[in-house]
Amino acid sequence: MIKVLVPYDFSEQAQNALNFTTGLADKIEGVQVEVLHVLEVPYVSSIGTMGGGEVIPEMENQIFFIELMERRKKQIAELKEKYSGKNFGFDAKLKLGNAFKSISESILEENPDLVVMGSKGSSGVEEVLIGSNTEKVVRTATCPVITVKSPIDPSSFKKVVFASDFKEDTDEIARRMKNLKTLFDAELYFVIVNTPADFETTRDSIKRIKMFVNKYGFEGAKAEIYNSLSEESGIIEFAEDIDADLIAMATHGRTGFLHLITGSIAEDVVNHAKRPVWTLKVK
Protein backbone atom coordinates (compact mmCIF):
# COMPACT_ATOMS: atom_id res chain seq x y z
CA MET A 1 0.00 0.00 0.00
CA ILE A 2 1.16 3.52 -0.80
CA LYS A 3 0.10 6.10 1.78
CA VAL A 4 -0.13 9.73 0.64
CA LEU A 5 -0.65 12.59 3.11
CA VAL A 6 -2.35 15.73 1.76
CA PRO A 7 -2.37 18.79 4.07
CA TYR A 8 -5.59 20.60 3.16
CA ASP A 9 -6.90 24.06 4.05
CA PHE A 10 -9.85 24.24 1.58
CA SER A 11 -7.96 26.71 -0.64
CA GLU A 12 -7.65 26.46 -4.42
CA GLN A 13 -4.02 25.39 -4.04
CA ALA A 14 -4.93 22.64 -1.57
CA GLN A 15 -7.64 21.38 -3.93
CA ASN A 16 -5.08 21.24 -6.75
CA ALA A 17 -2.91 19.04 -4.52
CA LEU A 18 -5.85 16.79 -3.61
CA ASN A 19 -6.94 16.45 -7.25
CA PHE A 20 -3.37 15.56 -8.20
CA THR A 21 -3.30 12.90 -5.47
CA THR A 22 -6.65 11.33 -6.32
CA GLY A 23 -5.67 11.37 -9.99
CA LEU A 24 -2.53 9.46 -9.08
CA ALA A 25 -4.51 7.08 -6.87
CA ASP A 26 -6.87 6.36 -9.80
CA LYS A 27 -3.88 5.42 -11.94
CA ILE A 28 -2.26 2.84 -9.66
CA GLU A 29 -3.49 0.22 -7.22
CA GLY A 30 -3.17 0.17 -3.45
CA VAL A 31 -3.17 3.89 -2.58
CA GLN A 32 -4.42 5.28 0.72
CA VAL A 33 -5.10 9.04 0.66
CA GLU A 34 -4.94 10.76 4.06
CA VAL A 35 -6.25 14.34 4.11
CA LEU A 36 -5.25 16.51 7.08
CA HIS A 37 -6.91 19.81 7.93
CA VAL A 38 -5.38 21.83 10.77
CA LEU A 39 -7.57 24.40 12.48
CA GLU A 40 -5.47 26.92 14.36
CA VAL A 41 -6.84 28.21 17.65
CA PRO A 42 -7.28 32.01 17.26
CA TYR A 43 -5.71 34.65 19.47
CA VAL A 44 -7.78 37.12 21.48
CA SER A 45 -6.44 40.05 19.47
CA SER A 46 -5.86 40.41 15.76
CA ILE A 47 -4.20 42.81 13.36
CA GLY A 48 -6.48 44.72 11.01
CA THR A 49 -5.86 44.75 7.27
CA MET A 50 -4.50 48.28 7.47
CA GLY A 51 -2.04 47.40 10.22
CA GLY A 52 -4.01 48.68 13.21
CA GLY A 53 -4.70 46.50 16.22
CA GLU A 54 -8.24 45.29 16.83
CA VAL A 55 -9.26 43.62 20.09
CA ILE A 56 -11.83 40.88 19.74
CA PRO A 57 -13.91 40.10 22.83
CA GLU A 58 -13.03 36.65 24.12
CA MET A 59 -16.63 35.36 24.03
CA GLU A 60 -17.13 36.54 20.46
CA ASN A 61 -13.86 34.91 19.51
CA GLN A 62 -14.91 31.62 21.05
CA ILE A 63 -18.26 31.66 19.25
CA PHE A 64 -16.58 32.34 15.91
CA PHE A 65 -14.11 29.51 16.49
CA ILE A 66 -16.84 27.04 17.46
CA GLU A 67 -18.86 27.95 14.36
CA LEU A 68 -15.78 27.58 12.17
CA MET A 69 -14.93 24.21 13.69
CA GLU A 70 -18.45 22.93 13.07
CA ARG A 71 -18.30 24.15 9.48
CA ARG A 72 -14.94 22.41 8.96
CA LYS A 73 -16.29 19.17 10.46
CA LYS A 74 -19.16 19.29 7.98
CA GLN A 75 -16.75 19.96 5.09
CA ILE A 76 -14.53 17.07 6.19
CA ALA A 77 -17.57 14.78 6.23
CA GLU A 78 -18.50 15.99 2.72
CA LEU A 79 -14.98 15.19 1.50
CA LYS A 80 -15.24 11.66 2.86
CA GLU A 81 -18.60 11.22 1.14
CA LYS A 82 -17.28 12.62 -2.14
CA TYR A 83 -14.40 10.17 -2.34
CA SER A 84 -16.11 7.11 -0.88
CA GLY A 85 -16.49 4.12 -3.18
CA LYS A 86 -13.38 4.95 -5.20
CA ASN A 87 -10.75 2.34 -6.08
CA PHE A 88 -8.44 3.85 -3.45
CA GLY A 89 -8.68 4.32 0.29
CA PHE A 90 -9.60 7.76 1.59
CA ASP A 91 -9.74 9.34 5.02
CA ALA A 92 -9.85 12.94 6.25
CA LYS A 93 -8.99 14.26 9.70
CA LEU A 94 -9.24 17.55 11.54
CA LYS A 95 -6.61 18.59 14.09
CA LEU A 96 -6.39 21.63 16.35
CA GLY A 97 -3.07 23.40 16.67
CA ASN A 98 -0.22 24.94 14.70
CA ALA A 99 -0.31 23.95 11.03
CA PHE A 100 3.37 23.14 10.53
CA LYS A 101 3.71 21.35 13.86
CA SER A 102 0.59 19.27 13.24
CA ILE A 103 1.71 18.32 9.72
CA SER A 104 5.15 17.33 11.04
CA GLU A 105 3.60 15.24 13.81
CA SER A 106 1.33 13.49 11.30
CA ILE A 107 4.30 12.65 9.09
CA LEU A 108 6.11 11.07 12.05
CA GLU A 109 3.01 9.26 13.34
CA GLU A 110 1.59 7.98 10.05
CA ASN A 111 4.88 7.48 8.17
CA PRO A 112 3.46 8.27 4.70
CA ASP A 113 5.31 7.32 1.54
CA LEU A 114 4.61 10.75 0.07
CA VAL A 115 3.29 14.18 1.04
CA VAL A 116 1.50 16.28 -1.61
CA MET A 117 1.04 20.00 -0.87
CA GLY A 118 -0.33 22.96 -2.74
CA SER A 119 1.64 26.19 -2.97
CA LYS A 120 1.43 29.62 -4.56
CA GLY A 121 5.17 30.20 -4.44
CA SER A 122 6.65 33.50 -3.35
CA SER A 123 9.41 35.94 -4.07
CA GLY A 124 11.37 38.85 -2.66
CA VAL A 125 11.28 39.91 0.99
CA GLU A 126 8.21 37.82 1.82
CA GLU A 127 9.99 34.66 0.73
CA VAL A 128 13.03 35.34 2.93
CA LEU A 129 11.30 36.63 6.07
CA ILE A 130 8.07 34.68 6.17
CA GLY A 131 8.43 31.49 4.20
CA SER A 132 5.49 29.08 4.08
CA ASN A 133 4.31 25.88 5.67
CA THR A 134 5.03 24.16 2.37
CA GLU A 135 8.63 25.37 2.38
CA LYS A 136 9.07 24.25 6.00
CA VAL A 137 7.69 20.81 5.22
CA VAL A 138 9.99 20.50 2.20
CA ARG A 139 12.92 21.34 4.47
CA THR A 140 12.07 18.95 7.30
CA ALA A 141 9.88 16.06 6.07
CA THR A 142 11.30 12.57 6.45
CA CYS A 143 9.58 11.41 3.25
CA PRO A 144 9.37 12.82 -0.29
CA VAL A 145 7.19 15.89 -0.83
CA ILE A 146 5.53 16.88 -4.10
CA THR A 147 4.61 20.55 -4.38
CA VAL A 148 1.76 21.42 -6.75
CA LYS A 149 0.87 24.96 -7.87
CA SER A 150 -1.77 24.50 -10.55
CA PRO A 151 -4.23 21.87 -11.81
CA ILE A 152 -2.10 18.95 -13.00
CA ASP A 153 -3.11 15.52 -14.32
CA PRO A 154 -0.48 13.00 -13.13
CA SER A 155 -1.72 10.36 -15.58
CA SER A 156 -0.16 12.38 -18.42
CA PHE A 157 3.35 12.48 -16.91
CA LYS A 158 6.02 11.42 -19.40
CA LYS A 159 9.26 13.17 -18.36
CA VAL A 160 10.87 13.53 -14.93
CA VAL A 161 14.01 15.64 -14.42
CA PHE A 162 16.28 14.67 -11.53
CA ALA A 163 18.79 17.47 -10.88
CA SER A 164 21.88 16.75 -8.78
CA ASP A 165 25.66 17.12 -8.76
CA PHE A 166 25.91 13.30 -8.37
CA LYS A 167 28.91 13.73 -6.09
CA GLU A 168 27.37 11.66 -3.31
CA ASP A 169 26.26 8.06 -3.82
CA THR A 170 23.10 7.86 -1.75
CA ASP A 171 21.27 4.55 -1.69
CA GLU A 172 18.16 6.24 -0.29
CA ILE A 173 17.98 8.71 -3.19
CA ALA A 174 18.43 5.95 -5.75
CA ARG A 175 15.71 3.83 -4.12
CA ARG A 176 13.28 6.74 -3.98
CA MET A 177 14.00 7.70 -7.60
CA LYS A 178 13.23 4.15 -8.71
CA ASN A 179 9.95 4.33 -6.79
CA LEU A 180 9.20 7.66 -8.49
CA LYS A 181 9.90 6.23 -11.93
CA THR A 182 7.60 3.30 -11.22
CA LEU A 183 4.92 5.57 -9.79
CA PHE A 184 4.66 7.69 -12.93
CA ASP A 185 6.09 5.24 -15.49
CA ALA A 186 8.02 8.22 -16.86
CA GLU A 187 11.29 8.78 -18.71
CA LEU A 188 14.12 9.93 -16.41
CA TYR A 189 16.49 12.78 -17.24
CA PHE A 190 19.54 13.06 -14.96
CA VAL A 191 20.95 16.58 -15.26
CA ILE A 192 23.94 18.48 -13.88
CA VAL A 193 23.76 22.27 -14.17
CA ASN A 194 27.12 23.80 -15.03
CA THR A 195 27.62 27.37 -13.77
CA PRO A 196 30.45 29.90 -14.11
CA ALA A 197 31.04 29.74 -10.35
CA ASP A 198 31.34 25.95 -10.34
CA PHE A 199 32.52 25.00 -13.82
CA GLU A 200 33.64 21.54 -14.86
CA THR A 201 34.04 19.80 -18.19
CA THR A 202 31.16 17.99 -19.83
CA ARG A 203 33.29 14.83 -19.87
CA ASP A 204 33.67 14.86 -16.07
CA SER A 205 29.98 15.58 -15.48
CA ILE A 206 28.73 12.89 -17.86
CA LYS A 207 31.17 10.39 -16.33
CA ARG A 208 29.75 11.01 -12.87
CA ILE A 209 26.13 10.63 -14.01
CA LYS A 210 26.95 7.38 -15.81
CA MET A 211 28.62 6.00 -12.69
CA PHE A 212 25.40 6.70 -10.75
CA VAL A 213 23.27 5.16 -13.52
CA ASN A 214 25.40 2.01 -13.72
CA LYS A 215 25.75 1.58 -9.96
CA TYR A 216 22.00 1.71 -9.31
CA GLY A 217 20.74 0.20 -12.57
CA PHE A 218 18.83 3.07 -14.17
CA GLU A 219 18.56 1.61 -17.65
CA GLY A 220 17.29 4.05 -20.25
CA ALA A 221 17.88 7.20 -18.20
CA LYS A 222 19.26 10.16 -20.15
CA ALA A 223 22.38 12.01 -18.96
CA GLU A 224 22.31 15.76 -19.62
CA ILE A 225 24.58 18.76 -18.93
CA TYR A 226 22.98 22.22 -18.90
CA ASN A 227 24.85 25.53 -18.78
CA SER A 228 23.29 28.41 -16.87
CA LEU A 229 24.16 31.33 -14.59
CA SER A 230 22.84 29.56 -11.46
CA GLU A 231 21.77 26.08 -10.43
CA GLU A 232 18.23 27.19 -9.68
CA SER A 233 17.65 28.92 -13.02
CA GLY A 234 19.38 26.11 -14.90
CA ILE A 235 17.13 23.44 -13.41
CA ILE A 236 13.98 25.41 -14.18
CA GLU A 237 15.17 26.34 -17.70
CA PHE A 238 16.15 22.75 -18.56
CA ALA A 239 12.77 21.47 -17.39
CA GLU A 240 11.07 24.10 -19.56
CA ASP A 241 13.24 23.31 -22.58
CA ILE A 242 12.36 19.60 -22.60
CA ASP A 243 8.78 20.24 -21.41
CA ALA A 244 9.24 18.08 -18.31
CA ASP A 245 6.26 17.14 -16.18
CA LEU A 246 8.08 16.98 -12.84
CA ILE A 247 11.33 18.23 -11.30
CA ALA A 248 12.96 16.00 -8.67
CA MET A 249 15.66 17.13 -6.25
CA ALA A 250 17.29 16.26 -2.94
CA THR A 251 17.62 18.85 -0.18
CA HIS A 252 19.86 18.87 2.89
CA GLY A 253 17.14 20.54 4.94
CA ARG A 254 19.20 23.40 6.35
CA THR A 255 17.37 25.57 8.86
CA GLY A 256 17.87 28.79 10.78
CA PHE A 257 20.81 31.13 10.26
CA LEU A 258 22.75 28.66 8.09
CA HIS A 259 19.75 28.40 5.77
CA LEU A 260 19.61 32.20 5.37
CA ILE A 261 23.31 32.37 4.54
CA THR A 262 23.56 29.44 2.14
CA GLY A 263 20.02 29.33 0.83
CA SER A 264 18.53 26.15 -0.55
CA ILE A 265 18.45 25.40 -4.26
CA ALA A 266 15.59 22.93 -3.78
CA GLU A 267 13.44 25.44 -1.90
CA ASP A 268 14.18 28.14 -4.49
CA VAL A 269 13.07 25.78 -7.26
CA VAL A 270 9.93 24.88 -5.28
CA ASN A 271 9.11 28.58 -4.97
CA HIS A 272 9.78 29.58 -8.56
CA ALA A 273 9.12 26.57 -10.81
CA LYS A 274 5.72 26.37 -12.47
CA ARG A 275 5.93 22.57 -12.62
CA PRO A 276 5.38 20.18 -9.73
CA VAL A 277 8.54 19.61 -7.71
CA TRP A 278 9.45 16.40 -5.88
CA THR A 279 11.91 16.84 -3.02
CA LEU A 280 13.59 14.50 -0.55
CA LYS A 281 15.55 15.59 2.51
CA VAL A 282 18.85 13.77 2.89
CA LYS A 283 21.42 13.95 5.68
What's the mean pLDDT when you consider all of the chain? 85
pLDDT of residue 205: 94
Lowest mean pLDDT among 55-64, 121-130, 134-143, 231-240: 121-130
* DSSP notation for 45-107: EEE-TTS-EEEPPHHHHHHHHHHHHHHHHHHHHHHHHHTTTSSSEEEEEEEES-HHHHHHHHH
The answer to whether the CB of 233 falls within 8 A of the CB of 272 is: no
- Burial group, residue 112, by CB count within 10 angstroms (0-12, 13-18, 19+): buried
What global pTM score does this model have? 0.86
Overall average pLDDT of the 216-244 stretch: 95
**Per-residue pLDDT at 259:** 41
Q: What is the pLDDT of residue 124?
A: 38
Task: Specify the CATH number of the domain 2-146.
Answer: 3.40.50.620
| Class of residue 210 by CB neighbours under 10 A (exposed 0-12, middle 13-18, buried 19+) | middle
Report yes or no: 244 and 152 within 8 Å, Cβ to Cβ: no
Answer with the residue of higher pLDDT: 128 or 250: 250
Where on the phi/psi map is residue 119: left (φ > 0), alpha (ψ -120 to 50), or beta?
Answer: beta
pLDDT tens for each residue of 43-88: 554 444 444 444 445 656 778 888 888 999 999 999 999 999 899 9
pLDDT average, residue stretch 248-262: 60
Q: How do the domains of the chain map onto residue ranges?
A: 2-146, 157-281
Domains 2-146 and 157-281 share a fold: yes
pLDDT class for 182, splitting at 50, 70, 90? confident
157-281 has CATH 1.25.10.10 classification:
no
70-84, 175-189, 229-243, 257-271: segment of lowest average pLDDT: 257-271
Q: Cβ distance 175 to 143 under 8 Å?
A: no
Residue 255: pLDDT band with limits 50, 70, 90 = low
Percent of the chain with pLDDT over 70: 84
pLDDT of 11: 87
